[in-house]
Amino acid sequence: MAARPLTPERANTPPHSWHQRATAAQQAGDIDGALDLVRQGVREHPGAADLMNTAGNICMKAARFEQAAQWFGKAAAAAPDRIDLALNYAIALNRLHRFDEAREALASFEANGRGDARFHSVAGSAARGAGAYDEAASHYEAVIAASPSHANALHGLARLALERGDADAVSRFDAALAVNQANAELWLGKAQAMEAAGDTEGAIGIVAQLVRQGPHWIEGLKVLAQLRLSRGEQDYTSHFREAAKKVPNDPRIPLAHAGILALGEHYEQSAEVALDAHRKFPHDEEVALSAAFHAGAAGHYDLADKLFASLSLDTPDRHVHEARHILRSGDAERASETLARAFALDPWNQTAWALQAIAWRVAEDAQLDWLMGSGALARPLDLEGGVASIEEAVPILDRLHDASPFPLGQSLRGGTQTRGILFARREAALRDLERAIEATLQTYRATLPPEDENHPFLRHRNAPWHLTGSWSVRLSGGSDHHASHIHPGGILSSALYARVPEGLEDTDKAGWLELGRPPRDLRLDLGPMQTIEPKVGRLALFPSFLYHGTQPFAEGQRMTVAFDVGAKKSRNHGAA
């Protein structure tokens, strides 16, 4: 039932009455009506922070996190001295992974929040999400000092230990489980910590039990696939089929199954799973989109055409996937028209920009020069301070790789990738290397073209930058290489060379970094736009929307450190 409009005889209704009426509407299941009542109340009482907070709580309970953040942001702005409102705002921002904004929302309450377990818990989660690991640990430890059995803080410390590669990660998860045995996320984290410590069998046992108890839990199914792949199993996704039998009415399971198979480039199998799901769920458009995507990747072009044509979905994913399919035929003009629909909904979609670069290249469109910054965006630099910092890190990297698995869902085809977040680790040599990288980034930024608000990378030219992820890759001669890929979660990506085999300067450029070569599934006969020769201490930087990869090399080892750069977003109390 829709809320009744405000009438003169009901004007000047006190805020608490609006709160009661909105809460009653929420309890009756009328979320939109409840929010309409709050809006009426706020029009009558423009500074009613508690009423705005009510709307935020209603949205949080309805899992409308974007709306919740908008309402909580308005409440915090209306009463900037109230820590409770700032905490609610930060919690909503954390749910949206807008961690820098959450830290900003809490920054003025550091003094008042000292000793407040809730403040430190929320601030710790924001800091951890933003990659400020020392700050996060300090907040969580402050919570434990005041409340030793605080579940969220114990969980946070366990996750930090896992991400940092600490030796006590398993015991940290045990401590968290001691106060929260029913938390499946904790059991999953413990399994990941056990696998990192070398107990793959024990880890598989835990996660297998979790997915038997909760076959609908997609994250558990994905982690089990990674663990089974680490053990060397050929059919490492069979548990998805078992889960689908137990929960036959959940389309998310076959969709995730198809996605995992595609990540391993098992395109025919992924298409079979997705098409079977489409037969079972013929009226589910997300399933139809998945079937179209995977059919196209497997080379079933006519079937993919029909499936895309049947869709009424108007989402960025639909248009990006369809543009990718169209590019396989070389029709750059139609691909660009389809991408324009994606940009209308999501102007900064990195995958869409990656495909747009390819479409402009196929069409020999001059706009490609603008997108590539006239050649100024992708280039190598020497690491600030010379090669000493990377050379000191090499023994640590080798030790980590010796205990690292082949990663599922990454661009590697052979080789190993380090677990966790490399620069979250405590080793002094890695901290020194991070500082050298940050200094090199400033050198790179200083020589960039001017800020351009219409450009997917240069719009961030003058914003604060930070590292959003970091890892190392070690490849061996023979067949190891990187498949062409992008990093949609960053704005700038990288490859810093720590070890380079002899002979990579040969004219065939085996093992060199290739920029701009389309991924294999697009089946376009285009080589790289640019290549960069690997040299120890050389840092290659390029926009994250640019496809990049390597070709196999004959012998020796090639080891790199890689990271993505993110840009701080501005605080926004948008319309709710």
CA distance 58 to 40: 15
CA distance 539 to 467: 15
Burial environment of residue 31 by CB neighbours within 10 A (0 to 12, 13 to 18, 19 or more): middle
CA distance 339 to 306: 19
Positive or negative: CA dihedral 65, 71, 74, 75 = negative
- 8 A C-beta contact, residue 211 and residue 224: yes
Low-confidence ranges of the chain (pLDDT < 70): 1-11, 405-414, 478-479, 481-482, 504-507, 569-576
Report if residue 11 sits inside a domain: no
Positive or negative: CA dihedral 455, 457, 460, 462 = negative
494 shares a domain with 363: no
What pTM was estimated for this model as a whole? Answer: 0.87
459 shares a domain with 344: no
384 shares a domain with 353: no
CA distance 400 to 145: 32
Task: Please identify which residue in the block is written with the tokens 């910590």.
Answer: 193
490 shares a domain with 349: no
CA distance 143 to 346: 39
493 shares a domain with 383: yes
CA distance 338 to 314: 11
CA distance 74 to 93: 13
Q: Which domain holds residue 455?
A: 376-567
Q: Is 559 helix (H, G, I), strand (E, B) or coil?
A: strand
Report if residue 410 sits inside a domain: yes
Close Cβ partners of 294 (under 8 Å, ≥ 6 residues apart)? 258, 262, 267, 270, 271, 273, 274, 275
Instruction: Choose the final residue of a domain: 371, 398, 415.
Output: 371
pLDDT at position 571 is 43
519 shares a domain with 468: yes
What amino acid is encoded at 187 in this protein?
A: W
522 shares a domain with 413: yes
CA distances from 367 to 343, 362, 373, 491 (A): 16, 12, 10, 19
Instruction: Choose the final residue of a domain: 338, 354, 371.
Output: 371
Report if residue 13 sits inside a domain: no
- Give the angle subtended at the CA of 480 by the CAs of 536 and 529, to the nearest 5°: 65
349 shares a domain with 436: no
Name the β-bridge partners of 539. 381, 496
Report if residue 243 sits inside a domain: no
321 shares a domain with 421: no
- 8 A C-beta contact, residue 500 and residue 542: no
The domain total for the chain is 2
Report if residue 28 sits inside a domain: no
472 shares a domain with 397: yes
Q: Token digits for 397?
A: 């990297």
Q: Is 497 helix (H, G, I), strand (E, B) or coil?
A: strand
pLDDT at position 573 is 39
Helices (H), 311-377: 316-327, 332-345, 350-363, 367-371
CA distances from 151 to 42, 191, 388 (A): 36, 18, 42
Phi-psi category of residue 532: left, alpha or beta, with phi > 0 → left and psi -120 to 50 → alpha = beta
The CATH number of residue 467's host domain is 2.60.120.620
Report if residue 383 sits inside a domain: yes
Q: Give per-residue burial for 423-455: e unless 16+ CB within 10 Å, then b.
A: bbbebebbebbbebbeebbeebeeeeeeeeeeb
CA distances from 468 to 55, 159, 386, 475 (A): 32, 16, 24, 23
549 shares a domain with 402: yes
- 8 A C-beta contact, residue 505 and residue 406: no
554 shares a domain with 437: yes
Close Cβ partners of 89 (under 8 Å, ≥ 6 residues apart)? 56, 69, 72, 73, 75, 76, 102, 105
Q: Give per-residue burial for 11-28: e unless 16+ CB within 10 Å, then b.
A: eeeebeebbebbbebbee
Choose among 426, 418, 424: nearest CA to 399: 418
CA distance 114 to 91: 18
Name the β-bridge partners of 476. 557
Report if residue 74 sits inside a domain: no
The 3-state secondary structure of 202-246, one letter per residue: HHHHHHHHHHHHCCCCHHHHHHHHHHHHHCCCCCCCHHHHHHHHH
Dmax over CA atoms of the chain, in Å, equals 86
Instruction: Choose the final residue of a domain: 371, 390, 420.
Output: 371
- Give the angle subtended at the CA of 221 by the CAs of 237 and 280, to the nearest 5°: 75
Q: Is 575 helix (H, G, I), strand (E, B) or coil?
A: coil
Report if residue 406 sits inside a domain: yes
